[in-house]
Amino acid sequence: MSAPTQRPKVTAHEARQTAEAARERDWHKPSFAKELFLGRFRLDLVHPHPLPAEEDARRGDAFLASLRTFCETRIDGARIEREARIPDETITGLKELGALGMKIDRKYGGLGLTQLYYNRALALVGSASPAVGALLSAHQSIGVPQPLKLFGTQEQKDAFLPRLARTDISAFLLTEPDVGSDPARLATTAVPVRDDEGDAYVLDGVKLWTTNGVVADLLVVMARVPASDGGRGGITAFVVEADSPGITVEHRNAFMGLRGLENGLTRFHRVRVPAENRIGPEGAGLKIALTTLNTGRLSLPAACAGAGKWCLKIAREWAGVREQWGGPVARHEAVGTKISFIAATTFALEAVVDLASQMADEDRNDIRIEAALAKLYGSEMAWLIADELVQIRGGRGYETADSLAARGERAVPAEQLLRDLRINRIFEGSTEIMHLLIAREAVDAHLSVAGDLIDPGKSFADKAKAGARAGGFYARWLPGLVTGSGQLPHSYGEFGVLAGHLRYVERTSRKLARSTFYAMSRWQGRMELKQAFLGRIVDIGAELFAMSAACVRAELLRTTGDHGPEAHQLADAFCHQARLRIEELFGRLWSNTDDLDRRVVDGVLAGRYAWLEAGIVDPSGEGPWIADATPGPSTEQDVHRRIP
C-alpha cells in the first residue's frame, strides 16, 4: 500500500482563488437568469418557449418509447434495492439499447439525442430505479464523454467515444478523502515522465465516492501536475483506462439511498497515463469540470422532476381512497394543501428543466446560471415533495416496499425515494456551494465595476479609476430599477390569469437587484462572508426563474392545445405559493438571526454548551474523522466488478 497522500495546507484565500480561476468569466451570449439578478426581466429570451426540431423530437420520442418498454420489463427497482446492486443483465440490456450513448454524437455510434430528450430519458429511467438513472447520468453527464466532446482532441474522440457509446462505462473522479467542496486541497498528483513508450504522467493518490468507479472501464481523473520549468502545472483532467496497472478499487461504499450505486474508493499507485490522454492543457482541469457541469447539472433536476411526477401519482391514487374521519384523507385540508404543493411544484420543476434543456439545445443563450438554479431548486423542492408524500402515506410512508408487499399491500417505496433523493442536495455541488456559485454570478456586475474600489490592497489611483467606472455603470443601471413593465396594469396580457405573476416577477427582480446593490454598498468586500444573506438572494432568484418557466410553459401548453386550462391553473397555484416563499425570504434578508447564530456557533465550537450533550451515548466512538490509509478489499463485493 502506498504512503498516505499528503494534504496540502490551503488558506481560505487560496481556496477562493482556485474557485475563481476555474470560473468562466466571459458572457458571450445573453443570460436570462443573469439579467434577472440585475433587475432586468428579459421575457423575450424565454418566450415563446423554444421547441425541439421536428426530426430531433421524432428520434427522441422513438427512443423514449423503447426505453419505457425496457424500464417496464427489464428494470426491477425493488430487486436492485434489495440486492444493493444493478443486475448485469440490466446493464447489458442498457448497452444494447444504446443508452450509454444517448448524448454521444451519431458519428461516434451514439444516439445523438438532444439535451431535452436525454433529460427526459434520465427522468424515465430514474423513476424505474434511481440507481440506474444515477449510473447513466454519472457516465454521460459528468463522466468521460462530455469533457471529451467539449475539450477532447479529434484523436481522443475517435479513440474513446465509440467505446463509450456502446460498451464502456465511465466515471468522474474529483473528490478525495480530504477534498470535497474545496478542490484547492486536491492531493492526487500527476507527474510528467518520459520513458521508452513516450511522454506520460504518473498518477498517485486516492479518490473517494467514485460513482460507477467499481464497474467503470474509463475514468476522468483530476490530478495535480506539479509546476516545473516547462509548464505551470495545476489541476489537470485525464482519461484513464480503469484496468491500468496500479489502480485498485479498495472499497465499495454503501449509502443511505441509491443502494445499487457502484460507488467506490479508488487508489492510484504509480499509474502510467500516456500524455495523449490529457484533456485540454495542464491546469485546465477544474475549468473543464465546471464547463462540463454547465449542462451536466441538468440531469439531476430532470430526475427530481421525475420523482415529483411519481409522488403526484401516488398521492392522487392513495389520498383519494384512504378514508379516515369520514372521508378520503385528500379532502382534509391539511393533506390537500400538501397535494396541491406536490402538483404545482412538480409542474414548475418540469417547466424549469424543459426550458433550460431546450435553451441548452438552442444554444442561443448562456444557461450556466439557469442550470445551476435548476440543480439547486430541483434538489431542494423534490426533497420537500417526497417528504410530503411520506406524510400523506402516514405509517405506510415510513414502511419499506418489501414489508408492505409481505403484508399483502401495494409495494410503494416512498421511504426509499426520500433516501434516494437526499444525496441530490449534496453532490454535483452542495446547496451551500450552489448558493455561493450563483451568488458570485449575481454580484459579478458589482464586483467587476467596484472590485478595485473595495479592495484594501489597491492604490488610490486604482480606486479612483474604479470609482469612475462604477459611477458610469450605476448612473445607467440604477435608474432602470425604479420603474418597469411590472407596474403597468396591462403588461403581459396575453398570459391571462398569469399576467399578474409575470408583472410580479418583473417588479421583484428589480427589488432583488436593489437589495443586492444595497448589501454591496453596506458590506463591500465582506459581502462574500454574508452567506446566509446571499443564500436568500439566490433562493429568491430561483423562485423567480421557476415562476417565469412555469408561466411560459403554461402558455405554451395553452397555445398547443395540450391541457392549457389545467396548466394555467397549476402555474397560477405555483406562482401564488412561490410568492409567499419569496415574501418570507425578503423579510428575512434584513430581519434574521444571522448575527445571533454566529455567536451561538462560537459558543458551540468553544464547547460552552457541551453540558447540553449530557445524557446520551455516542455509538460512533472515537475513530479518526478522515482515513489517511484505507484498508484493502475485505469482501467479495468490495472488489472491482466487471460487466460483460
Choices 167-175, 279-287, 355-363, 396-404; region in contact with ligand FAD by CB under 6 A:
167-175
| Contact string (CB under 6 A) for ligand FAD, positions 505-544, x = contact | --------------------------x-------------
209 touches ligand FAD by CB under 6 A: yes
Number of Cβ within 10 Å of residue 265's Cβ equals 23
Residues in the interface with ligand FAD (CB under 6 A) total 23
Distance (Å, whole) CA 210 – CA 174: 8
Which of 90, 114, 129, 210 touches ligand FAD (CB under 6 A)?
Answer: 210
Percentages helix, strand, coil for the chain (3-state, rounded to 5) are 60, 10, 30
Which of 211, 266, 416, 515 touches ligand FAD (CB under 6 A)?
Answer: 211
Name the residue nearer to ligand FAD (CB basis): 209 or 495.
Answer: 209
Choices 78-86, 157-165, 194-202, 419-427; region in contact with ligand FAD by CB under 6 A:
419-427
Q: What is the CA radius of gyration of the chain?
A: 25
HEC-encoded secondary structure of 261-311: CCEEEEEEEEEEEEHHHEECCCCCHHHHHHHHHHHHCCHHHHHHHHHHHHH
Q: Which residue has the cell 475549468?
A: 287
138 touches ligand FAD by CB under 6 A: yes
Name the residue nearer to ligand FAD (CB basis): 167 or 430.
Answer: 430
Distance (Å, whole) CA 97 – CA 71: 11
Distance (Å, whole) CA 384 – CA 337: 13
268 touches ligand FAD by CB under 6 A: no
DSSP state of 138: I
HEC-encoded secondary structure of 161-229: HHHHHHCCCEEEECCECCECCCHHHCCCEEEEEEECCEEEEEEEEEEEEEECCCCCCEEEEEEEECCCC
175 touches ligand FAD by CB under 6 A: yes
291 touches ligand FAD by CB under 6 A: no
586 touches ligand FAD by CB under 6 A: no
174 touches ligand FAD by CB under 6 A: yes
Q: What is the dihedral of CA 312, 318, 324, 328, to 10 degrees?
A: 70
CB of 209 to ligand FAD, least distance (A): 4
423 touches ligand FAD by CB under 6 A: yes
CB of 239 to ligand FAD, least distance (A): 15
Distance (Å, whole) CA 334 – CA 358: 37
Question: Three cell numbers at 134?
Answer: 444515477
Whether 428 sits among the annotated catalytic residues: the reply is yes
Which listed residue (176, 262, 428, 543) is catalytic?
428
CB 545 within 8 A of CB 371: no
Name the residue nearer to ligand FAD (CB basis): 46 or 382.
Answer: 382
| Contact string (CB under 6 A) for ligand FAD, positions 176-195, x = contact | ----xx--------------
Which of 255, 473, 474, 477 touches ligand FAD (CB under 6 A)?
Answer: 255
263 touches ligand FAD by CB under 6 A: yes
Question: Three cell numbers at 209?
Answer: 465516492
**Which positions are catalytic?**
428
List residues binding ligand FAD (CB under 6 A): 138, 171-175, 180-181, 209-211, 255, 258, 261, 263, 423, 426-427, 430, 432-433, 436, 531
